[in-house]
């Protein structure tokens, strides 16, 4: 018995806070997902699995599922490819590289509210900077309604998110790259390997732990994105930027279907769980192999 | 290096910090008194979206001067978040004593969950105009203090009309001709910004009274009875004509990405000649360009010779929280606001909902007075079940981006059915 | 010069870096320029230098946006939350990393599941909970919410890091007669500084800039944090970009300045945490 006191002492505060403020609310919303609560009445009515049945037949749910994955996957790929490419160029220790590494982190210091306002201004079709620049170099036929065009809107939002947060990903890659012993490259060079092969056989495999972390984290982050979409497009135009998080908010708070919204939240949680587990398993395996 | 002494000191600091943060709880909740005696000092919490009734801060000062024992804690919440915030607070039993509510069917969820109280016995109820009564009542009970009456109309730039020799169109074909002439002169006929979703509803609401309700006043009741649907009704033609304006190039470019403020700017700068808006918005346009000459006419969605009906609605100011600990103070506040000199400040620039409060609306809005006498119908979201209006927003956005009108109307029908379950 | 760089070809990399640097810098430049102009100037040429510096935009934004209150609220909440996060997570991760027993793995996974919980799922139940605890509209309530949501990831980082710390030090301390508490705070804590700085930096960023939690749980005017102040400010002055961007700059300046002075730690912190994980 005594040997449990010490671990308990260390664990208890965290367990208490975590359970109270995360687990209880999650259980609460499990409960609400089996009701038709409207968020206002004192007593929600139990309706069994009806919410989940409706969910399966709801077109908007399937559509937003697609949008969720679209956003998450492009975000994950975009951040990682860009992060790695930039890291390759910035892994050295010249002053230019040091300065750029710092400079690229500035967007991270801005809040989502600030980022959304900045990019709303950049993307505005009449007064925005992007179209202004295009017009002033004579490319006015390329001007677009960046946030209003249903084909472009998602990509515009995704780009602004990448713009803000790619630096974290990049820095992790820089650290990973810096950890690779230089003699490996020298040895390969002596053996006559070209730059492509060096990347494939040395860099990529050895940067695997950084790769794993980045992929998993950016994926989870991408699946849950809410604030930026909320402020920039509110799910519009016509629902093309509405991912599950936005749909959940709309159902729960705009349509006052708290029960239904909770059911969607449960589904979202399960998806994130499954995807993350799969990712970790696949990527860890790959890590070990190399 | 951390010594144990240091650790203990840090521990002490932490505990103090913990205490401090708990104490720095800004004590904004309901005040400690739960009595109803008016003499004890009392604080009442009041919530309002921050883009409406902006003269409230001034009026609150007046109120506190007049009733020194009642203090007002006023929260102007950003409009997009207003409903979420208030509902979340009400759901956990911590709602404001007075809060802004919408009209008509929008009151139902609050009534059904026993969150707002009936105010039938208040002295100001007898002074309400018919439209005020309509906006604030459900099932024969009055639930809110009404404020100003708004209309949806076409605001137009008088200087441009004069230059191009245009007169106010009296029917739809004339309206299209006017728009074409404006377009040919190089200006934008109609400013429209659908990025802010609520803008989507203005034109359909402006069309509906003439297209449907003038000749078929019972349409909404029939919808509730399941005898009418959006599909197969004049709505199909309405949306087709709405989209038709876009197809003829009468709107600005990139409507989907244009916001409300750009709409106002286009009017204010004279780039656009007309825009369909709700009457309180005229103030914002004038604010951007005080020199501008503006007028308003009702959207003439009629055939030649037919009567135009105007879309109008009265907004509510506040309802009283059914669970408030200070019902007397809250009611006194409402009574104060309903007094003619205060109400006039409250609704500045708009039409009033009280028979003894003269309308001192913007002269541009007053130009529609005659049209309003001929016939009006209330703004549709106050009659529909609450699920329909948000669906209308997305339906219009989808139609503008290529979806079929029939599919969009079907979504609205589904939403209607869900709402009456 | 980096030998590997030489092998991949300098030119494409330089082009990418150059282009991307422009992409990063132009919006930032626009924000700064716009904040110093008047609206008519902005509309005629968004990219021009201001004809005269409108510093008044900043004072209007500061006063009307109630930024002083915003800063003090943000500061209190962020610093206290960070303290809680670091202490609770580093403590909890200790037995989880050192113990081989099954219950340790179970508890570890229990904490980890928190990473996947989307915030919206907990919104309304949390509101009811805070209310019943009397923590509504209080700094402490929000601090506890931030602490609990940061815990999962922080515990993950600490646990991974502990595993790389050799046990010999703890064992030596035990032999010397140190109790577990002393061992932890005096010996271990200084060693985990790198990962602590990662935890602090990532969470500080998130908490300082977070918008949604204060929106729901800290609405009253006196308790607003900085992002909320900008948001409220913008909805009042919706069409005036010059004021909005002045507000954005004021709000972002502290973090940016802090960042520049501590950037070595930032960069190190993020990198070391991730790689060891």
Instruction: State percent of chain A over pLDDT 90.
Output: 19
Looking at CA atoms only, how far is residue C155 from chain A in angstroms? 9
| In chain C, residues 157-196 whose CB comes closer than 8 Å to chain A | 180-181, 184
Instruction: Judge: B4–C185 Cβ closer than 8 Å, yes or no.
Output: yes
Q: Say what the pTM is.
A: 0.81
Residue of C nearest to B79 (CA): C235
- Measured between CB atoms, does A168 come within 8 Å of chain C? yes
- Site from A29, A37, A42, A237 to mutate, B interface, most B CB atoms within 10 angstroms: A237
**Torsion sign (Cα): B258, B259, B260, B266:** negative
pLDDT tier at A273, thresholds 50, 70, 90: confident
Who among A38, A39, A148 is closest to B195 (CB)?
Answer: A148
pLDDT tier at A16, thresholds 50, 70, 90: very high
- d(CA B63, CA B332) in angstroms, rounded, equals 10
Pairing of strands B70-77, B294-297: unpaired
Instruction: Judge: A172–C209 Cβ closer than 8 Å, yes or no.
Output: no
Kind plus residue range of the DSSP H or E element containing C19: helix C10-35
Q: What's the pLDDT score for residue C206?
A: 87
In whole numbers, what is the pLDDT of chain A averaged over residues? 85
Within a 10 A sphere around the Cβ of C23, how many other Cβ atoms?
11
Contact residues on chain A for B194, CB-CB shorter than 8 A: 148, 237
Looking at CA atoms only, how far is residue B65 from chain A in angstroms? 35
Instruction: Say yes or no to pLDDT of C26 above 60.
Output: yes
Strand partners, B71: B43
- d(CA A71, CA B332) in angstroms, rounded, equals 52
Q: What's the pLDDT score for residue C269?
A: 61
Looking at CA atoms only, how far is residue A77 from chain B in angstroms? 27
- Site from A113, A178, A186, A191 to mutate, C interface, most C CB atoms within 10 angstroms: A113
Residue of B nearest to C179 (CA): B4
Terminal CA-CA length for chain B: 68
- Measured between CB atoms, does A280 come within 8 Å of chain C? no
Instruction: Judge: C30–A168 Cβ closer than 8 Å, yes or no.
Output: no
- Answer with the residue of higher pLDDT: A124 or C116: A124
- Measured between CB atoms, does C27 come within 8 Å of chain A? yes
Among A129-138, A211-220, C7-16, the minimum mean pLDDT is found in C7-16
Domains of chain B: 36-146+316-361 (3.40.190.10), 150-313+365-419 (3.40.190.10)
Query: How many residues are given for chain C?
Result: 277
- Measured between CB atoms, does A43 come within 8 Å of chain C? no
Q: What is the mean pLDDT of residues C228-241?
A: 74
Write out the two tokens for B5: 């002494």
Buried b (16+ CB within 10 A) or exposed e, B376-393: bbbbbbbbbbbbbbbbbb
pLDDT tier at A204, thresholds 50, 70, 90: confident
| In chain B, residues 221-260 whose CB comes closer than 8 Å to chain C | 260
pLDDT tier at A35, thresholds 50, 70, 90: confident
SS3 string of A136-172?
A: HCCCHHHCCCCCCCCCCHHHHHHHHHHHHHHHHHHHH
DSSP, collapsed to helix, strand or coil, labels residue C165 as: coil
- d(CA C57, CA C250) in angstroms, rounded, equals 11
Mean pLDDT by 10 residues, chain B (421 residues): 49 53 41 47 88 85 92 82 80 85 90 91 90 89 92 95 94 96 95 90 94 92 92 94 95 89 90 93 86 94 93 92 92 92 85 84 86 89 90 91 92 88 73
Q: What is the mean pLDDT of residues C181-189?
A: 76
pLDDT per residue as tens digits for the range C63-85: 877 888 889 999 999 999 999 99
Write out the two tokens for B214: 């003038």
Write out the two tokens for B215: 């000749």
Q: What's the pLDDT score for residue B26?
A: 39
Who among B91, B390, B401 is closest to A150 (CB)?
Answer: B401
Contact residues on chain A for B262, CB-CB shorter than 8 A: 124, 126-127
- Site from C4, C101, C182 to mutate, A interface, most A CB atoms within 10 angstroms: C4
Q: What's the pLDDT score for residue B35?
A: 40
Q: What's the pLDDT score for residue B348?
A: 80
Instruction: Judge: A11–C2 Cβ closer than 8 Å, yes or no.
Output: no
Instruction: State percent of chain C over pLDDT 90.
Output: 15
- Measured between CB atoms, does B21 come within 8 Å of chain A? no
Q: What's the pLDDT score for residue A36?
A: 83
- Answer with the residue of higher pLDDT: A194 or C103: C103
**Which subunits have 3 or more CB–CB pairs within 8 Å of chain C?**
A, B
Who among C83, C189, C235 is closest to B50 (CB)?
Answer: C235
Domains of chain A: 50-289 (1.10.3720.10)
Q: What is the mean pLDDT of residues A138-167?
A: 89
Looking at CA atoms only, how far is residue C13 from chain A in angstroms? 6
Residue of A nearest to B252 (CA): A126
Contact residues on chain C for B14, CB-CB shorter than 8 A: 83, 87
Who among C24, C120, C241 is closest to A104 (CB)?
Answer: C24
| In chain C, residues 101-130 whose CB comes closer than 8 Å to chain A | 107, 111, 113-126, 128-129
- Answer with the residue of higher pLDDT: B336 or A231: B336
- Site from B3, B27, B28 to mutate, C interface, most C CB atoms within 10 angstroms: B28
- Answer with the residue of higher pLDDT: B260 or A254: B260
Write out the two tokens for A156: 């515009």
């Amino acid at each position: 018995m005594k040997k449990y006191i010490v671990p308990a002492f260390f664990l208890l505060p965290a367990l208490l806070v975590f359970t109270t403020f995360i687990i209880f609310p999650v259980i609460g919303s499990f409960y609400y997902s089996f009701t038709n609560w409207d968020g206002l009445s004192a007593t929600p009515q139990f309706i069994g699995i009806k919410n989940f049945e409706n969910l399966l037949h709801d077109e908007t749910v399937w559509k937003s599922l697609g949008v969720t994955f679209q956003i998450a996957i492009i975000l994950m790929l975009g951040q990682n490819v860009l992060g790695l490419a930039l890291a390759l160029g910035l892994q050295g220790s010249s002053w230019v590289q040091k300065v750029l590494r710092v400079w690229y982190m500035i967007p991270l210091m801005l809040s989502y509210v600030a980022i959304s306002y900045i990019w709303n201004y950049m993307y505005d079709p009449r007064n925005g900077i992007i179209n202004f620049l295009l017009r002033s170099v004579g490319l006015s036929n390329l001007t677009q309604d960046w946030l209003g065009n249903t084909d472009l809107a998602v990509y515009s939002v995704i780009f602004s998110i990448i713009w803000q947060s790619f630096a974290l990903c990049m820095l992790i890659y820089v650290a990973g790259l810096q950890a690779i012993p230089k003699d490996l490259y020298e040895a390969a060079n002596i053996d006559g390997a070209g730059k492509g092969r060096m990347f494939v056989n040395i860099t990529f495999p050895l940067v695997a732990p950084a790769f794993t972390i980045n992929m998993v984290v950016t994926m989870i982050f991408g699946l849950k994105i809410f604030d930026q979409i909320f402020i920039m497009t509110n799910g519009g135009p016509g629902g093309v930027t509405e991912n599950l998080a936005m749909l959940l908010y709309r159902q729960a708070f705009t349509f006052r279907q708290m029960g239904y919204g909770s059911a969607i939240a449960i589904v979202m949680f399960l998806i994130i769980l499954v995807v993350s587990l799969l990712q970790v398993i696949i990527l860890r395996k790959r890590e070990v192999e190399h | 290096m951390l010594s144990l002494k240091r650790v203990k000191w840090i521990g002490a600091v932490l505990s103090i910090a913990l205490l401090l943060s708990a104490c720095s709880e800004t004590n904004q909740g309901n005040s400690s008194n739960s009595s109803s005696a008016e003499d004890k000092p009392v604080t009442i919490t009041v919530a309002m979206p921050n883009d409406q009734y902006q003269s409230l801060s001034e009026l609150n000062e007046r109120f506190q001067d007049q009733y020194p024992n009642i203090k007002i804690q006023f929260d102007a919440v950003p409009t997009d978040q207003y409903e979420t915030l208030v509902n979340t607070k009400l759901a956990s039993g911590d709602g404001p004593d007075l809060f802004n509510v919408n009209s008509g069917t929008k009151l139902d969820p609050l009534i059904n969950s026993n969150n707002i109280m009936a105010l039938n016995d208040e002295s100001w109820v007898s002074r309400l105009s018919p439209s005020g009564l309509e906006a604030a009542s459900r099932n024969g009970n009055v639930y809110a203090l009404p404020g100003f009456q708004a209309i949806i109309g076409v605001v137009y730039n008088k200087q441009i009309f004069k230059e191009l020799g245009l007169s106010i169109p009296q029917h739809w074909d004339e309206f299209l001709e006017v728009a074409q002439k404006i377009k040919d002169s190089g200006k934008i006929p109609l400013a429209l910004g659908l990025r802010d979703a609520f803008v989507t509803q203005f034109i359909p609401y402006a069309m509906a009274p003439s297209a449907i309700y003038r000749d078929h006043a019972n349409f909404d009741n029939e919808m509730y009875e399941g005898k009418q649907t959006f599909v197969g009704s004049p709505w199909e033609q309405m949306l087709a004509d709405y989209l038709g304006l876009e197809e003829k190039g009468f709107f600005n470019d990139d409507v989907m990405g244009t916001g409300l403020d750009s709409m106002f700017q286009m009017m204010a700068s004279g780039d656009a000649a007309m825009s369909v808006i709700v009457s309180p918005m005229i103030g914002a346009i004038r604010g951007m360009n005080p020199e501008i000459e503006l007028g308003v006419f009702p959207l003439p969605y009629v055939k030649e010779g037919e009567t135009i009906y105007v879309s109008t609605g009265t907004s509510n100011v506040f309802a009283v929280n059914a669970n408030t600990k200070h019902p007397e103070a809250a009611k006194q506040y409402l009574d104060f606001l309903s007094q003619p000199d205060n109400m006039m400040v409250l609704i500045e620039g708009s039409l009033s909902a009280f028979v003894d409060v003269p309308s001192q609306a913007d002269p541009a809005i007053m130009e529609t007075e005659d049209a309003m006498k001929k016939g009006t119908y209330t703004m549709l979201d106050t009659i529909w079940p609450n699920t329909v209006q948000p669906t209308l927003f997305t339906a219009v956005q989808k139609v503008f981006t290529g979806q079929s009108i029939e599919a969009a109307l079907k979504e609205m029908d589904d939403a209607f059915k869900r709402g009456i379950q | 010069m980096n030998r590997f760089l030489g092998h991949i070809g300098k030119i494409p990399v330089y082009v990418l870096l150059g282009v991307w640097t422009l992409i990063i810098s132009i919006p930032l430049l626009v924000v700064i320029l716009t904040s110093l102009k008047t609206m008519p100037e902005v509309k005629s040429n968004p990219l021009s230098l201001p004809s005269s510096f409108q510093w008044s935009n900043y004072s209007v934004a500061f006063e009307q946006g109630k930024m002083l209150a915003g800063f003090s609220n943000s500061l209190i909440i962020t610093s206290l939350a960070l303290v809680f996060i670091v202490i609770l997570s580093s403590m909890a991760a200790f037995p989880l990393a050192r113990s081989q027993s099954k219950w340790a793995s179970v508890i570890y996974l229990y904490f980890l599941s928190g990473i996947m919980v989307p915030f919206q799922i907990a919104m309304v139940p949390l509101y009811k909970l805070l209310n019943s605890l009397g923590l509504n509209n209080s700094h402490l309530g929000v601090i506890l919410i931030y602490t609990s949501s940061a815990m999962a990831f922080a515990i993950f980082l600490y646990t991974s890091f502990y595993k790389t710390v050799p046990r010999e030090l703890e064992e030596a301390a035990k032999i010397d007669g140190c109790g577990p508490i002393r061992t932890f705070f005096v010996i271990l804590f200084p060693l985990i500084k790198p990962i602590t700085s990662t935890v602090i930096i990532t969470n500080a960023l998130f908490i300082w800039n977070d918008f949604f939690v204060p929106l729901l749980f800290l609405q009253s005017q006196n308790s607003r944090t900085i992002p909320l102040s900008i948001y409220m400010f913008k909805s009042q002055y919706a069409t005036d970009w010059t004021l909005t961007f002045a507000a954005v700059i004021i709000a972002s300046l502290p973090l940016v300045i802090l960042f520049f002075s501590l950037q070595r730690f930032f960069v190190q912190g993020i990198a070391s945490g991730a790689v060891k994980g």
